[in-house]
Structure 1
Amino acid sequence: MDGTIAATTRTLVGVEVGGTFTDLVWIDHAGAVRTGKTPSTPSEVQKAVLEVIDAAGVPVEEVARVTHGSTVATNALITRRGAQVGVLTTTGFRDVLILGRADRNHSIYDMQYRRPEPPIRRAMLREVTERLGPEGEVIAPLDEAQARAQIAAFLAQGVEGIAISLLHAYRNPAHEKRLVEIVRELAPGLPVSASHEVSPEFREYERSVTTAVNAFVGPVVERYIARLDEGLATRGYGGVLQVMQSNGGTMPAAQAGPNAVRMLLSGPAAGISAAMWFARRNGISDLVTLDMGGTSTDVALAEGRVLATVPELVVDGLPVRTAALDMATIGAGGGSIAAIDAGGFLAVGPQSAGADPGPACYGRGGAAPTATDAQVVAGLLRPERFFGGKMALRPDLAETAIAGLGQGGTPQQTADAILRIVNANMASAVRLVSTERGLDAARFALVAFGGGGPVHAAMVADELGIGTVLVPWSPGLASAFGLLVADTVIDVTESAIQPLGEGTLDASRLAALERRAAEEAAAAGLEDAALRVGLDMRYAGQAFELTVWTNAPGDAPVALDAASLRGLFEEEHRARYGYARDALKVEVTGYRLRLSRASEVAIETPLPDGSGPTPETRDATIGGQRGPTVFRPRCGLMPGEAQAGPAVIEEPTSTVVVPRGWSARCAPTGDIIMTRETETAT
């Protein structure tokens, strides 16, 4: 797809690797925009990235910046196919990573529950003689001779990296720093992850997991980035490769290996960045994002266009302490497999057919019925129009796969049941970030993107009472687009457990954190960044914290007294959990600093040009009702024009389904805004 875009001073490329497709958006200095999409190549991720760049005809030698979002780190962790890593820890604490926490906060009714597999085998955990107290005081000095012997033993085992997580090192990193020096002396160039650098926060298990995961996926990320860098260089690229972080900002790819945990939700964060950009240009302040890709659906909420962040992710059951956008993820993607569960009920996900072999309708050997197969059988995806006509679908294979579920009735009825389950699962995810936090989902607009988001969005909105759905330009490429408009962000943290008082915002502590942030900013080439100051706070006795920012984005930090800080905390606590307790004491557990620089890219996406085939009517099943449905190309829906449902609006990267009782209008921006026209929509 070609178009025009507001003039920029630089040529920029965003490439995002999803579970099924790899997407590209390219903006050149003359104001032209091109897009690309190609099937992902899970075995050689960089191959699809380079292929989509080549296919789009991007003159790489003219590109000033390539920004990349990838699932490489996530996949390495989930599949446990990371690097061979050794972990050094304090004597007596070797099994912290193995034992974990005693609580079980999910799957409590699963009789077949299995604890998450640690990222590191016990045989690769070694102890060093040293001991620090809870205030950082030295109880036993580091035995350097014994430490050298342990490191040498790791080297003899052929480790690809070493993780160091000593007890209470977040309060005093001296022993960890010395161990890093010894490793670099004995094995120059070997990647080292030290907890005081990766996660300088309290809670030994979470800090150890985060450090071990960083070491586990870091070499995989570094090798991948090196191959991608090499491929770009051979094509003439001389700029800096940027990668997306889970916190919604970008960082130089050179920092990705040492900070690999920051990439764990790279792709979803880019999509949310795009959703915020499109909401802003359409005057939408309160929004819920709905991103349905090939393997999962990601949902986030922004009130007043302010996104919440969380200090911890849980990836495949493992707690990873890294700043991330607050989102809910469910296994409901286009490749999610429909099956009969142990109770005899039809279920969809979380298992996925992925990109290889993919849904049955792809004709690549996949036999399991998926959500995409259901969309084909329901008549929502036309085989000749899928992927802009570049990828023919096999409806016969989709029907065979769905009929194999043995549900009785017609394949169309089973397909509709599958899609209804997907809709219900998505609605539940939206409730997690809205209703369950005391917010009425009905007052938010739903921003739908990803290849499958616009297919389900209006039906999900019906379940939630939402009356407005925004479908942005080229929704299947939203994550790649988000890479171009994302801010550059640096987060630094430090634990400091103390009662809330007048001296809480310690100037010397903040100054030290600012120096750390400035060092990272200099390494990233980040200048003129805006500073935000946050505190992790909780009621005394709670086992979890909330991050409370003391200044809004773009505002200068201000000194706040204890009463003001408590007020901010209780406002956040009430919004998240529905209550606040005046009688309870409040304590601070840590400081957070964020440096950010807004993207300077001014973009005006191309408008529909009135081209494409003439609208036609075919039968399709939407929300349980089968009947005549208008099919028309999105490029033919001009600004100001509306299409009433039931209708299907097709484009190369996605499909917009307009149920009966809904209307889709092309906004002056070229985005589609769907509104519920009646209260009887189904």
Structure 2
Amino acid sequence: MQNQYRLGIDAGGTFTDFILADRKGEVRLFKALSTPQDPTLAIRNGLKLIEEETGISPRDIVSNSDLCINGTTVGLNALITHNGAKTGLIATKGHEDSIEIRLGHKEDGYRYDPEYPPATMLVPRYLRRGVSERVISTGAVHTALNEEEVREACRHFLREGVESVAISFVWSVLHTAHEQRAAEIVREMMPDVRLTVGSQLYPQVREYTRTSTAIVNAYLAPILQRYVEAVDAYFQSLGARHPVRYFQSNGGLALGNVVSEQSVYAINSGPASAPQAALYIGAPWDLKNIITVDMGGTSFDITLTRDGRANVSKNIDFLRYRIGIPMIQVETLGAGGGSIGWIDSMGLLQMGPQSAGSDPGPACYDQGGERPTTTDANLILGYLNPDGLVGGRLPLNVENARRAIKTHLADPLGLTVEQAAFGMFTIVNNNMVNAIRRVSVERGYDPRDFVLNCAGGATGAHIMALAREMGITKVLISKLASGLCAFGQILSDVKYNYMAPAPVRLEGAEAAAKLDALFNGLEARGVKDLQADSFTEDRISVRRSLDMRYVGQVHECTVDIEAFTIDEAALERLKAAFHARHEELYTYSEPQSPVEVVNVESAISGAVDRPARMTVAPGTGAHAALKGTRPMIFNAEGIVQDTPVYDGALLGAGDVLTGPAVIQEVTTTLVIEPGWKVDLDATGVYVVTLTAAV
């Protein structure tokens, strides 16, 4: 049977996850160690692993898949390590340093720190060339483009071996001809370089944001192009009948050529699929307010959905670089299974953000790691199976973990190894709780109104403690939790964002007609692009947003609206939506003040058929899955408690157990603390509820 599979691949810092679903509703999860030096190697290794466990060859999987989807950290890693392409910038003369001036702004938390170092410039000063040209805020040309200066910039770039070029001029979004002509000259003189044109990539008002976004895109484009070409070629060699789709930071899928051209959309693609998976998991209970926490080997990611919609951010500083394009809001910190424990200059125990990653990994991996990590602490506390992880394929060395904690933490702090391990566990949990507060409390959301959803291989050992600290009384843990982002990818639709500048005050029929025409034009482009990608009109949907502010304000906020005809009467509807959003964000609104629009955006999606929901056969009682007991520690004193251990593969739908307990799934371990009850649902989701304060 053709097209019987769907394959999702999510490359993380430590593991690459593979989700293989078929039309019968069987969904299987596999893990392979990530290979940052050659990301395609992890894909080959993972498909080989699937063949070993299922007998299905990579060729049979790929050639019989309706979709093969790849979420990649290639762009993210290049930005973190500053290992992108050698990039040149052509800017309006006098504005070459706007990316270094950065609006005079330091990141939040460091604004008054004189010793905080400046961000590393992705384009060094000698590769920024200003050219004479000027468009003013009305869109009129003040100074014509000096084409010879553009040619001189190209000659300079050729001498310096530049691989990628970004073009960004002042007010270019209101008059694109100068950037377009400069682009023609670059293509003529530098046919082999990758080119990013700011007004095409990010056609929105705000020069600094547009220039920075264009530079990040140019910096990553050659890296992503090589990666996409390698992955596409590999899948084609396996007989792929459909093009590989790549997951974007906006929460949707895209073709490889789109990701190559708009590489900035692929920066944080992995965790961006978590909200889609969370809503799918919560659907049987009609749960729409969900906080998803994803703890892998390297990082901890948090996403939030409210009323069934994921938080989307624009115009943010990501890894210290301003990026304007819409991205699923992901709060990330260095708190993973590989987070290293250390003692600071004041003699206090700290966890991360340094990570042992997958190479050498935690001390207990027995691969050369000597520093104590979160995984080592969890092993000492009894939470992890001492026989090994990932079904025993990754053996654990308890003595190595004990030695690392004793040498580097316990002895210097005058603690037992068990006390130090629980201290590590507590501190990394506090770090994660603070991050959860940033996406909930600090944005006006009460976390007690949400359920907590588990993602990532390491989260299951911590999620009960996190929920208790946040006052959350219900937790969802899918059997696919450790590969939840890969699962979210196979549930996601194709999605593209189309933008336009719209500096207009919300007054009069002319303003309404302008906005209506802009939206209709953007959406006609989007529908045409999706129809060219084989989507019929009934599978295409539209979401709109406007960047709005009170006249005289410096900054705007994004207001989401449904698609409707914008006439003069509808302007009041837009104003009301803005007032409500402003009050939600800032606790006040000014209904008497005039409102203006700065930018508009339409998100166009093409719906993809979803695979059948997985099911779990009815159980015969949790006792049938009991494997024995293991000594575990749930307190700071290091007191050992004999705790039941259950085999997750033997639990069935309707089976109920209470904490303290541990459920061992093949790719993750769930630590059920005292006071919690677990009920396995037929959809393969453990529903965990707090029954007593502890």
Length-normalised TM-score, structure 1: 0.94
Give the structure 2 partner of residue 580 of structure 1.
589
Of 536, 549, 553, the residue aligned with 2:560 is 549
Kindly report which structure 2 residues correspond to 1:70-219, keeping only aligned pairs within 5 A, or say none: 70-108=72-110, 112-219=115-222
Q: Which amino acid aligns with 1:494?
A: A
Rounded to whole Å, the distance in 2 between the matches of 1:533 and 1:118 is: 34
Rounded to whole Å, the distance in 2 between the matches of 1:461 and 1:180 is: 52
Of 31, 36, 46, the residue aligned with 1:37 is 31
Distance 1:584-1:626 versus aligned 2 partners, 3 A rule: farther
Corresponding residue SS for 1:478: helix
Per-residue CA shift, 1:64-117, capped at 9, x if unaligned? 321000111111111110011111111111111222221224232656411211
Q: Which amino acid aligns with 1:562?
A: L
Distance 1:662-1:29 versus aligned 2 partners, 3 A rule: closer
Q: Percent of counterpart pairs with the same letter?
A: 32
Of 644, 649, 667, the residue aligned with 2:681 is 667
Contact 1:535 1:591 in 2 (8 A): yes
Distance 1:141-1:557 versus aligned 2 partners, 3 A rule: same
Kindly report which structure 2 residues correspond to 1:8-19, keeping only aligned pairs within 5 A, or say none: 10-19=4-13
Contact 1:85 1:124 in 2 (8 A): yes
Rounded to whole Å, the distance in 2 between the matches of 1:640 and 1:28 is: 24
Give the structure 2 partner of residue 648 of structure 1.
662
Rounded to whole Å, the distance in 2 between the matches of 1:334 and 1:520 is: 42
Shift of 1:630: 1.4
Contact 1:61 1:236 in 2 (8 A): yes
Shift of 1:539: 3.3
Per-residue CA shift, 1:490-547, capped at 9, x if unaligned? 1111222333334544222223322443454356554421112211122344443322
Per-residue CA shift, 1:424-447, capped at 9, x if unaligned? 122222222222223221121111
Corresponding residue SS for 2:260: coil
Corresponding residue SS for 2:518: helix
Rounded to whole Å, the distance in 1 between the matches of 2:126 and 2:95 is: 14
Rounded to whole Å, the distance in 2 between the matches of 1:609 and 1:223 is: 48
Contact 2:480 2:487 in 1 (8 A): no
Q: Which amino acid aligns with 1:450?
A: G
Of 315, 320, 336, the residue aligned with 1:333 is 336
Contact 2:85 2:220 in 1 (8 A): yes
Of 611, 620, 630, the residue aligned with 1:602 is 611
Per-residue CA shift, 1:621-643, capped at 9, x if unaligned? 23546412111111222211111
For structure 2, the residue ranges without an aligned partner over 5 or more in a row are 52-57
Rounded to whole Å, the distance in 1 between the matches of 2:240 and 2:234 is: 9
Corresponding residue SS for 1:15: strand
Give the structure 2 partner of residue 65 of structure 1.
67
1:536 counterpart = 2:550: no
Shift of 1:216: 0.3
Corresponding residue SS for 1:615: strand
Rounded to whole Å, the distance in 1 between the matches of 2:503 and 2:348 is: 48
Shift of 1:451: 0.8
Rounded to whole Å, the distance in 2 between the matches of 1:293 and 1:526 is: 35
Length-normalised TM-score, structure 2: 0.92
Kindly report which structure 2 residues correspond to 1:424-435, keeping only aligned pairs within 5 A, or say none: 424-435=430-441
1:618 counterpart = 2:630: yes
1:488 counterpart = 2:469: no
Per-residue CA shift, 1:1-33, capped at 9, x if unaligned? xxxxxx996421100000100011112356544
Distance 1:389-1:442 versus aligned 2 partners, 3 A rule: same
For structure 1, the residue ranges without an aligned partner over 5 or more in a row are 1-6
Shift of 1:260: 0.4
Rounded to whole Å, the distance in 2 between the matches of 1:155 and 1:608 is: 64
Q: Which amino acid aligns with 1:508?
A: A
Contact 1:473 1:605 in 2 (8 A): no
Contact 1:330 1:350 in 2 (8 A): yes
Corresponding residue SS for 2:462: helix
Distance 1:587-1:672 versus aligned 2 partners, 3 A rule: same
Rounded to whole Å, the distance in 1 between the matches of 2:592 and 2:458 is: 48
Corresponding residue SS for 2:152: helix
Corresponding residue SS for 1:266: coil
Per-residue CA shift, 1:383-403, capped at 9, x if unaligned? 214111111011222222222
RMSD of equivalent CA atoms? 2.2
Give the structure 2 partner of residue 272 of structure 1.
275
Distance 1:630-1:111 versus aligned 2 partners, 3 A rule: farther
Kindly report which structure 2 residues correspond to 1:151-550, keeping only aligned pairs within 5 A, or say none: 151-403=154-406, 404-405=408-409, 406-503=412-509, 504-505=511-512, 506-518=515-527, 520-522=529-531, 524-528=533-537, 529-550=540-561
Distance 1:118-1:609 versus aligned 2 partners, 3 A rule: farther
Contact 1:379 1:619 in 2 (8 A): yes
More deviation, 619-628/464-473: 619-628
Distance 1:34-1:165 versus aligned 2 partners, 3 A rule: same
Rounded to whole Å, the distance in 2 between the matches of 1:585 and 1:623 is: 58
Distance 1:113-1:336 versus aligned 2 partners, 3 A rule: same
Give the structure 2 partner of residue 589 of structure 1.
598
Corresponding residue SS for 1:477: helix
Rounded to whole Å, the distance in 2 between the matches of 1:352 and 1:501 is: 54
Rounded to whole Å, the distance in 1 between the matches of 2:113 and 2:343 is: 16
The total of aligned residue pairs comes to 671
Q: Which amino acid aligns with 1:182?
A: I
Rounded to whole Å, the distance in 2 between the matches of 1:231 and 1:173 is: 38
Rounded to whole Å, the distance in 1 between the matches of 2:445 and 2:85 is: 43
Rounded to whole Å, the distance in 2 between the matches of 1:88 and 1:301 is: 38
Shift of 1:586: 2.9
Give the structure 2 partner of residue 4 of structure 1.
none
Rounded to whole Å, the distance in 2 between the matches of 1:45 and 1:79 is: 15
Contact 2:166 2:196 in 1 (8 A): yes
Corresponding residue SS for 2:175: coil
Shift of 1:578: 3.4
Per-residue CA shift, 1:150-175, capped at 9, x if unaligned? 21221232221111011111111111
Rounded to whole Å, the distance in 1 between the matches of 2:536 and 2:353 is: 42
Rounded to whole Å, the distance in 1 between the matches of 2:40 and 2:671 is: 33
Distance 1:476-1:52 versus aligned 2 partners, 3 A rule: same
Rounded to whole Å, the distance in 2 between the matches of 1:8 and 1:466 is: 44
Corresponding residue SS for 1:101: helix
Q: Which amino acid aligns with 1:410?
A: T
Per-residue CA shift, 1:549-600, capped at 9, x if unaligned? 221xxx7666662332222123223333333344544322210101112331
Distance 1:10-1:185 versus aligned 2 partners, 3 A rule: farther
Rounded to whole Å, the distance in 2 between the matches of 1:522 and 1:314 is: 34
Shift of 1:473: 2.4
Corresponding residue SS for 1:257: helix
Per-residue CA shift, 1:125-155, capped at 9, x if unaligned? 1122211112221111112222122212212
Q: Normalized per residue, which structure has more helix?
A: 2
1:52 counterpart = 2:55: no
